[in-house]
Amino acid sequence: MVGAGLAGLSAAVALRQAGLAVAISDSAARAGGRCRSYFDPQLGMTIDNGNHLVLAGNPAVARFRKDVGATEPLAGPDHATFAFADLSTGARWQVRLNDGPLPWWVLCKDRRVPGSRAADYLPLARLLAAKRGQVIGDLIRCEGPVWEKLLYPVLLAVLNTDPATSCAVLAANVLKETLAKGGRASAPRIAAPDLASAFIDPAVGWLAGQGVPLATGRRLKALAFAGDRVSALEWADGRQAIAADEAVVLAVPSWVAGELVPGLSVPSEQRAIVNAHFAFDAPEDAPAMLGLLGATSEWIFTHPGRVSVTISAADHLIDTPREELAMRIWAEVALAFGMPAPLPAWQIVKEKRATFAATPAQEALRPPARTAFSNLFLAGDWVANGLPATIEGALRSGDAAARLALGQALRYGPRR
């Protein structure tokens, strides 16, 4: 197993559950990949590299956490309620989905987007029927209250790409598994107290208990091939031969995989995400998650002793000085909370290549988990799995790679 992000950990857990011997190596100092937590001395607390949101109806998330015995709960409201504030007008509202799949919430003025009518939601049916190659703007009007006050901010966060030009099939697949199933499947869930506690640490602990070795700080330099199979892994610390009955799961970033595997098609365009963290106790009445309009900031997340902000598709901010970003974002947070406050201790985290660009052209470049080499399989949120780059997609890709690797191993008899 090369890579100990969520996709790699998911594959490792599935393979070990099937009785196979597994070993994991990762170039980073700790497991987690982009879904990682670390102690930040500037804030004096543990933070996540970003605010990774999952939804109550994500099946792979629930299955993975159950398999590894994760006990830290995912925080979130009992029902699918999304709070918004427009800093340019001062308007505030909530969109409150009903629990069941019949969307009667659109008939209630106090539940739907302000200024919208029930008929305004009917065009969403066209989006659910999206075909390959279409963008969202081909199917629905990218204007009006429903678009501006609900769909645009939500889809921007999910796709990390300008929604109007994003792949309609990816958006449709997300909506089919969430909005179309009702509020029970759409309720937001946030890792508490952090990503490591909710996902990474339980998985690493479970694998350790199963005798699975995890080597960190170990970089893969190259793959060696013999015919249609991987014959060796060229690590920075030496060569590792791959036996005929062994499989390799490559769970690394797309650009790394593209350099390692001959002829592999991978997404070539990436989108950035900027996260800001502030050592600050939010007001007691502040929602756990608040969407912002009329601001640079997009989503505010409140945690005990910490406020975090996420800005998606943030390529235009990558070169902005960190201090300037901190002051700008904090001013918006203070305005959203309705309480002026001096800039607290802060940290800015820039992920320049956070996700692949969720356009039809880039979606077409995503490879399947199976490669042209009989014992090499791919895992990662960038591998074709029907979803944009999300935690749910990463976990599913790991499961898919594990199934393929298990099938290859069974040709020889699984190593235990």
Supply the CATH number for residue 242's domain. Answer: 3.50.50.60
Supply the CATH number for residue 311's domain. Answer: 3.90.660.20
Band of residue 415 on the pLDDT scale cut at 50, 70, 90: low
Averaged confidence pLDDT in the chain: 95
Q: No. of H helices and E strands in the chain? A: 14, 19
Percent of the residues in the chain that have a pLDDT greater than 70, as a whole number: 98
Domain membership of residue 83 (yes or no) is no
Q: Are residues 228 and 368 in the same domain?
A: yes
Give the C-alpha separation, 20 to 405, whole Å: 10
Distances (CA, A) of 266 to 111, 120, 359: 41, 37, 13
Q: Above 90 in pLDDT, residue 411? A: no
**Contact assessment for residue 393 and residue 4, using Cβ atoms and an 8 Å cutoff:** no
Q: What is the pLDDT of residue 226?
A: 97
Q: Are residues 47 and 181 in the same domain?
A: no
**Domains in the chain, number:** 3
Give the C-alpha separation, 159 to 174, whole Å: 10
Q: What's the rounded mean pLDDT across residues 336-360?
A: 96
Q: Which of 185, 204, 239 corresponds to the end of one domain?
A: 185
Q: What one-character-per-residue DSSP string does 353-401 give?
A: EEEE--SHHHHTTPPPSB-SSTTEEE-STTSSSSS-SSHHHHHHHHHHH
Q: Above 80 in pLDDT, residue 139? A: yes
Percent of the residues in the chain that have a pLDDT greater than 90, as a whole number: 92
Lowest mean pLDDT among 74-78, 105-109, 203-207, 248-252: 74-78
Evaluate the CA torsion angle 77, 346, 313, 253 in order and state its sign.
negative
- Determine the 3-state secondary structure of 268 from DSSP: coil
Evaluate the CA torsion angle 20, 25, 29, 34 in order and state its sign.
negative
334 is in which domain, residue-wise?
270-356
Q: What is the pLDDT of residue 146?
A: 97
Q: What one-character-per-residue DSSP string does 145-187 give?
A: HHIIIIIHHHHHHHHSS-GGGSBHHHHHHHHHHTGGG-HHHH-
Alpha helix segments (H runs only) across 41-164: 59-67, 124-128, 136-139, 145-146, 152-159
Give the C-alpha separation, 25 to 12, whole Å: 11
